[in-house]
Amino acid sequence: MSGLDDLLHRLLREFERRRTRYALMGGFALGALGAPRATRDLDFLVHRDDMAALHEFLTSAGYARVHFSENVSQYSGDFPWGGLDFLHAFRPAALRMLERAVVMPSGPPGLDVRVVRPEDLIGLKLQALVNDPARRHKELADIEALLAARPDMNWEQIKEYFDLFQQDELFKSLRDRPHA
């Protein structure tokens, strides 16, 4: 098991102990949903009201908060793997993502992980693509891989995200092409 896997399992135990409202997103979520890719960090959606207790745990475990805003907290430590990124859930769409998250096995028996639904992960990838056009290629590749891995997607829910970010043409091109 890698150091990143160990960290994930330690965090999952802490989330359970503290009853943290969270969902895995990012590269590890892609893997859990059938579209694996290499990643060096862990990304979570966490209810904003749970961030203070999580911050206390992370700093006591040797992590330093390197960025904080209304929307995001980022942590790093003196470890060979990457950092920890937390998107704060407080807006209605993000809170719905937390409610819809699915429980999946994480490896060790009895230790499950909550993962954002594939449609919601596409929404998060789309938001990243719109917010930082330099990430377009990477985010589109992740979206395409997820669509190929999950042919049973709820396209109406996906369309809501593309409508929100005014990406109608991109939605049509993704919906109309084969994903296999």
Can you tell me the distance from the alpha carbon of 152 to that of 27, in angstroms, rounded to the nearest whole number? 20
CATH class of the domain whose range is 1-116: alpha beta
Task: Assign 64 to helix, strand or coil.
Answer: strand
pLDDT at 108: 67
pLDDT in tens, 57-113: 999 988 999 999 999 999 998 766 678 999 999 999 999 999 999 999 876 667 789
Say which residues have a Cβ less than 8 Å from residue 167's Cβ, sequence separation at least 6. Answer: 126, 130
What predicted TM-score, i.e. pTM, was given to this entire model?
A: 0.91
Q: For 121-177, what is each residue's pLDDT tens digit?
A: 999 999 999 999 999 999 999 999 999 999 899 999 999 999 999 999 999 999 988
